[in-house]
């Protein structure tokens, strides 16, 4: 096998991308499909699932869609078993589904905090637990957890999200540690500030956060979901077989930069 492009090929692989009807998940799944993977994805909302299937079809991708709440362990185990029957064993898991609640911590209800932790941290555990046994039996696999700037930094109003994404970084490292011997590589992608529905409230014209982020980003722009495609294919492919427990930040340089002088 020549190194390039074979090492980056995902031909014959099955990828499960959670929460991938649109946004970052859709872009990641599309990239994996373009590299040859067969795509399975889920959504918690039937209408969004249908819209996602139509969007994949419009992009020339035959994706397999499943209605599933990633926090519901029995439902996740049932979905993974259905994927194994209908598509094949999951070779690549991308834990993308996630939410954020922007509330000052002292005003946040514990139930809101728990909901963010449940979706952004407990669910990646549930999904990884569901796919790892078959990956071990198959001789290996890839798990990619979608982390965040908040895996490294805090800011006002995102306490639950930062706690979850910080935990997700350590869950990534622990899965890498516990299953590396089974040829399972678990890594993270830490997107910077990306133009998606999740950040739309921060990008309204004149919103002070918009100029703030541009001043904190050496690239002087918001990220686009396309910026995440190459890192995803790399971490899903055999080109990264000796990369394990790493979080690849795709942030335009935010974490390296003190910020533009006012
Ligand atoms: P988004 O536009 O809000 O999409 C999130 C997706 O997750 C939606 O498809 C949503 O489905 C799904 N989802 C939420 N809860 C779910 C559940 N319980 N079960 C199944 N699916 C569920 O978010 P995004 O901006 O694309 O972000 C995707 C991931 O990247 C998240 O983990 C986010 O934390 C992370 N991230 C985003 C940015 C950014 O700047 N956008 C930066 C760093 C990291 P519904 O639409 O049906 O609710
Ligand atoms: C926020 C944003 C961020 C991004 C992303 C940054 O309110 O600060 O939503 O959290 O979503 O996680 O990496």
Cβ-contact 34, 226 below 8 angstroms: no
Domain-embedded: residue 262: no
CA of 96 to the centre of ligand 1 (A): 6
Domain-embedded: residue 213: no
Q: Is the CB of 25 under 6 A from ligand 1?
A: yes
Domain-embedded: residue 212: no
Q: Which ligand is closest in space to the CA of residue 73?
A: 1
CA of 190 to the centre of ligand 2 (A): 10
Residue tagged 């259905």 (tokens): 82
User: How far is it, in rounded angstroms, from Cα 138 to Cα 212?
Assistant: 47
The helix or strand, by DSSP H or E, that contains position 66, with its residue range, turns out to be: strand 64-67
User: How far is it, in rounded angstroms, from Cα 80 to Cα 82?
Assistant: 5
Q: What percent of the chain has pLDDT over 90?
A: 95
Q: How does the average pLDDT of the chain come out, rounded?
A: 97
Catalytic annotation on 161? yes
Catalytic residue among 56, 66, 161, 193: 161
pLDDT digits 0-9 by tens, 161-174 = 999 999 999 999 99
Q: Is the pLDDT of residue 188 over 70?
A: yes
Alpha carbon 71 to chain centroid distance? 15
Average pLDDT over residues 12-27: 98
Q: Is the CB of 45 under 6 A from ligand 1?
A: yes
Q: Which ligand is closest in space to the CA of residue 164?
A: 1
Closest CA to 94 of 162, 158, 189, 173: 189
Q: Is the pLDDT of residue 154 over 80?
A: yes
Q: Is the CB of 124 under 6 A from ligand 1?
A: no
pLDDT digits 0-9 by tens, 67-103 = 999 999 999 999 999 999 999 999 999 999 999 999 9
User: How far is it, in rounded angstroms, from Cα 116 to Cα 163?
Assistant: 9
Host domain of residue 175: 3-194+225-256
User: How far is it, in rounded angstroms, from Cα 87 to Cα 214?
Assistant: 42
Average pLDDT over residues 188-216: 93
Beta strand pairing call for 92-95 and 38-43: unpaired
Q: What angle do CA 71, 76, 79 make, to 5 degrees?
A: 145
Q: How many CA atoms lie within 13 A of 208 on its CB side?
A: 0
CATH, residue 159: 3.40.50.720
Domain-embedded: residue 60: yes
Cβ-contact 43, 21 below 8 angstroms: yes
CA of 7 to the centre of ligand 2 (A): 32
Domain-embedded: residue 126: yes
pLDDT-derived band of residue 1, with 50, 70 and 90 as boundaries?
Answer: low
pTM above 0.95, yes or no: yes
pLDDT digits 0-9 by tens, 94-135 = 999 999 999 999 999 999 999 999 999 999 999 999 999 999
CA of 261 to the centre of ligand 1 (A): 32
Domain-embedded: residue 235: yes
Quick one: tokens of 28? 């990641």
Please give the DSSP secondary-structure letter assigned to residue 223: B
Total domains in the chain come to 1
**What is the pLDDT at residue 105?**
98
């Amino acid at each position: 096998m020549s190194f390039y492009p074979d090492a980056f090929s995902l031909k014959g692989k099955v990828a499960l991308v959670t929460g991938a009807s649109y946004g970052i998940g859709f872009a990641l799944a599309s990239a994996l499909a373009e590299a040859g993977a067969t795509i399975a994805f889920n959504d918690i909302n039937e209408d969004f699932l249908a819209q996602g299937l139509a969007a994949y079809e419009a992009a020339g991708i035959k994706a397999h869609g499943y209605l599933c709440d990633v926090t519901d362990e029995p439902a996740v185990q049932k979905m993974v078993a259905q994927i194994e029957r209908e598509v094949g064993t999951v070779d690549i898991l991308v834990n993308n589904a996630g939410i954020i609640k922007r509330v000052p911590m002292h005003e946040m209800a514990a139930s809101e905090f728990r909901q963010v932790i449940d979706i952004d941290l407990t669910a990646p555990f549930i999904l990884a637990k569901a796919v790892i046994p078959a990956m071990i039996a198959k001789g290996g696999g890839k798990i990619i957890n979608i982390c965040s700037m908040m895996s490294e930094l805090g800011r006002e109003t995102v306490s639950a999200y930062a706690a979850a994404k910080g935990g997700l970084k350590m869950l990534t490292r622990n899965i890498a540690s516990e299953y590396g011997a089974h040829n399972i590589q678990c890594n993270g992608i830490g997107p910077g500030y990306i133009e998606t529905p999740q950040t739309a409230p921060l990008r309204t014209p004149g919103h002070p956060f918009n100029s703030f982020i541009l001043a904190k980003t050496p690239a002087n722009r918001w990220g686009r979901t396309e910026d995440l495609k190459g890192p995803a294919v790399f971490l899903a492919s055999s080109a990264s077989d000796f990369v394990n427990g790493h979080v690849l930040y795709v942030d335009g340089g935010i974490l390296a930069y003190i910020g533009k002088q006012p």
